Chain A
Amino acid sequence: MKKPEKISASRRGFLKGAAASAAAGAAALVSHPEPAPAQQRPRNGSATPNPTTLASETGAPVGEESDSRIIEHPGSDFMVDVLHSLNIEYCASNPGSTFDGLHESLINYGDNKMPEFLTCCHEESAVAMCHGYAKIEGKPMMALIHGTVGLQHASMAIYNAYADRVPIYMVVGSHADAAVRGSGVASYHSANDMGALVRDFTKWDDSPQSLGAFGETAVRAYKFAMTPPMGPVLVVATHETQIDPIRQNNLKVPRLVMTSPPSGDSSAVAEAARMLAAAERPMIIEQRAVRTPNGHKLLVELAETLQAPVNSQERQSFPNRHPLAGNGGPGYQPDVTLCLEVSDATATARNARARGAKTINISTIDLFMKSNIQDFMHYASDLDLDIGADAEATLPALIEACKKLITGDRKRAIEERGVKIAAAHKQARARAIEQAAIGWDASPISLARICAELWPMIEKEDWSLVSWQGFISGWPGRLWNFDKPYQYIGGQGAGGIGYNAPASVGAALANKKHGRLSINIQCDGDLNYAPGVLWTAAHHKIPLLTIMHNNRGYHAEVMILERRASQRNRGQDRCHIGTKLWEPEINYAKMAETYGLYGQGPITDPKDLAPALKRGLERVKKGEPALIDVVTQPR
């Protein structure tokens, strides 16, 4: 960082002048109480804004000569140097005056590169984009967030990422010094303890009060975010630190030293290997264990070593057409179950103990937990072996230990088990495909048909499903061939709806540089939380095919409400109230066109589906987002 050459006015000195000028303006208004001429008054009839209000809304200084305002080396330039050192590719943001200094430095001093600024229409969209991006790229991107109001907008998306153990790098602005900040918005957008607004569901936050402290905090925040269990982190960039000139001569960007993830204790890993190698019917349940492409390979290696079925419950962690994918088939009752980063192993362990079976758990859950939000779920008192460690980091030692134990006759017995599991897998797959034919010609269109018709169009591409399968009955998982870790990113984390649309855009952004084709099967209820993210996708030319699962409602809630009405012996004929999105029906193709995307639909006749999908794909392959509105069966 170069030493400042010229600093014409200190921020505090300037603000004293501004306050004096504003006071003079206020006195003038008092001495001339006549209303302003009608043509100068706003249409709502309120008074013309006074100089202080104007200054707070526009950022314009009050009563200051232009030649004394220049700050050539503001603190936010150093902040950009620090952020640049972290190799953060993108900064998703909805603009706000608490970070105007950093915003300006990012686009001018930083030349809008590393990170590149992405214009978002809602802070929840910005953070959820980071969520989707991280699940593809394996590292965080940045969300730059307005103080208090923006952070509260962002909070739902932060919570989802926290529960999903996904790293997100957040910087939030705040006018920290009450002596110099203005009244009104500057005060409304500031807080004594900004991090407290989201502390229940961030991994770490800090409010550095100087540039030197900012550097240390900013680098450390990245390190914390990326150390398993990963999570969102928040750095408060005070407005004063952004705006004031750099005064410190020895500022340095701290070096990033990453922390290696914790692997399991060697004796505990050896015990786990003994239990698994001796098991007659082992089972692996995986939820968030695979963090890297290597983790994907390791899980396959462990499964094949043990010839154990793998029930992969969240992201794309295990190839779905691998003969060991699934539950081992009907009647396969595991005698030893290995849970890998499963958020709640309680029921698995309890059921296992009831039938005399054993359960092993490898998880980082016990290494980091907070108190308020109940995402720690239940206490798994029936576990037989609980290893506090990162599962992926523990897999190499576990695989090696298992291989040493599985030799000769034992190996042959295990291979015979694998043959039976593979046969059960094949039967289950055939059944799933048969089921896809049910209601094939129905209108509204079946979700199975959407996925089946799309598959031949994408199977030879380098594709990535960037939406959750939970509300579409898992049809892609039943019909498509998932064999790469980036081909499916899982769901919201905490079940917060409104995640999918922005997360899919963020994931598609990460896929863009790899030339991958991103597919989003998008629920209508989710899109309506913050549809402005469609504009962000169009504006930043993010290729993404969005296919609407337009069942015209919050369908899960329809079914839940019906069940409750049934329990109370009341009619379910009013369960559409508060749950349906019809009368009027929403036209998503027009919505897409309004936001600058190619839009098609509504598609109601199944014969029109394939041609519409093909047209949408053609646009996406040209490098733009497209949306096909398909009116669908409920599930």
Chain B
Amino acid sequence: MSRIAFVLILGAAAAYAQGNAGSGKDLYMKFNCYACHGFSGQNGSGARLVPMKLTQQAFTDFVHKGRGGMPPYSAKVIPDAQLADVYAYIKTLPDLTPAAKSIPALNEILSQN
């Protein structure tokens, strides 16, 4: 491994250090993430965050750059370290979504014409 590549990897690791889920919970509310993604991270008009399918790096890039309905929030307004905390918190959120067919009310609606 070249010296330059080693430095790049170290840099990436430093930029995407593991966050603190406890702090992330407060930040999720403070930054109003719940407004579009729900208090649960899975209800709302925005994308479903649970289960989180993005890597921390992809998540950070996505938040900073925005895409589609997601507005961009730059590193100036949400620093990477705080996004790491938010990411860590989202990873702790349980998936509260059973299969529709296992829910009697929805299964009944599915069966109706």
A526 within 8 A of B: no
The A interface, classified by DSSP as helix, strand, loop or mixed, is loop
Q: Pick the contact of A436 from B38, B39, B100 — CB < 8 Å?
A: B100
> Are B66 and A562 neighbours in the complex by a CB distance under 8 Å?
no
B20 within 8 A of A: no
A479 to chain B, nearest CB (A): 5
A430 within 8 A of B: yes
> Are B38 and A567 neighbours in the complex by a CB distance under 8 Å?
no
Residue among A442, A563, A565, A575 with max Cβ neighbours from chain B (10 Å): A442
> Are B36 and A436 neighbours in the complex by a CB distance under 8 Å?
no
Nearest residue, chain A, Cβ from B41? A439
B35 within 8 A of A: yes
Q: Pick the contact of A566 from B73, B96, B113 — CB < 8 Å?
A: B73
Q: Pick the contact of B35 from A437, A439, A558 — CB < 8 Å?
A: A558
B14 within 8 A of A: no
A461 to chain B, nearest CB (A): 16
**Given known A-B contacts A430-B110, A473-B45, A452 and B103 have beta carbons under 8 A apart:** yes
A573 to B74, CA, bound (A): 13
> Are A573 and B32 neighbours in the complex by a CB distance under 8 Å?
yes
1/0 per residue, CB under 8 A from B, across A429-449: the answer is 010011011111111101100
A40 within 8 A of B: no
B69 to chain A, nearest CB (A): 9
Contacts of B108 in A (CB 8 A): 456
Nearest residue, chain A, Cβ from B104? A456
Contacts of B8 in A (CB 8 A): none
B105 to chain A, nearest CB (A): 4
Nearest residue, chain A, Cβ from B112? A481
**Given known A-B contacts A558-B32, A562-B32, A434 and B100 have beta carbons under 8 A apart:** yes
* Chain A, range 397-438, C-beta contacts under 8 Å to B: 430, 433-434, 436-438
> Are A440 and B32 neighbours in the complex by a CB distance under 8 Å?
no
| B residues lining the A interface (CB < 8 Å) | 30-32, 34-36, 38-40, 42-45, 48, 66, 71-74, 76-78, 96-100, 103, 105-106, 108-110, 112-113
> Are A567 and B71 neighbours in the complex by a CB distance under 8 Å?
yes
Nearest residue, chain A, Cβ from B78? A571
A284 to chain B, nearest CB (A): 22
> Are B96 and A439 neighbours in the complex by a CB distance under 8 Å?
yes
A573 to B98, CA, bound (A): 32
Range, interface on chain A: 35 or more
> Are A439 and B73 neighbours in the complex by a CB distance under 8 Å?
no
> Are A563 and B43 neighbours in the complex by a CB distance under 8 Å?
no
* Chain A, range 574-588, C-beta contacts under 8 Å to B: 575-576
A635 within 8 A of B: yes
7 A-B pairs with least C-beta separation: A566-B71, A439-B43, A442-B40, A633-B43, A437-B100, A439-B42, A441-B96
Contacts of B32 in A (CB 8 A): 558, 562, 572-573, 575-576
A104 within 8 A of B: no
Contacts of A437 in B (CB 8 A): 97-100, 103, 106
Contacts of A566 in B (CB 8 A): 66, 71-73, 77
Beyond A438-B43, A634-B36, 13 additional contacts (C-beta under 8 Å) are A436-B100, A437-B103, A438-B48, A439-B38, A440-B97, A441-B98, A452-B103, A452-B106, A473-B45, A566-B72, A566-B77, A572-B31, A572-B73
12 contacts between A and B (CB under 8 A): A436-B100, A438-B48, A446-B38, A565-B77, A567-B71, A569-B76, A569-B77, A571-B77, A572-B31, A633-B39, A633-B44, A635-B44
Contacts of A447 in B (CB 8 A): 43
A290 to chain B, nearest CB (A): 23
A504 to chain B, nearest CB (A): 23
> Are B109 and A446 neighbours in the complex by a CB distance under 8 Å?
no
Contacts of B39 in A (CB 8 A): 442-444, 633-634
Nearest residue, chain B, Cβ from A446? B43
> Are B40 and A633 neighbours in the complex by a CB distance under 8 Å?
yes
> Are A442 and B31 neighbours in the complex by a CB distance under 8 Å?
no
A138 to chain B, nearest CB (A): 29
> Are A455 and B105 neighbours in the complex by a CB distance under 8 Å?
yes
A382 within 8 A of B: no
A153 within 8 A of B: no
A453 within 8 A of B: yes
Contacts of A20 in B (CB 8 A): none
Residue among A433, A436, A443, A563 with max Cβ neighbours from chain B (10 Å): A433
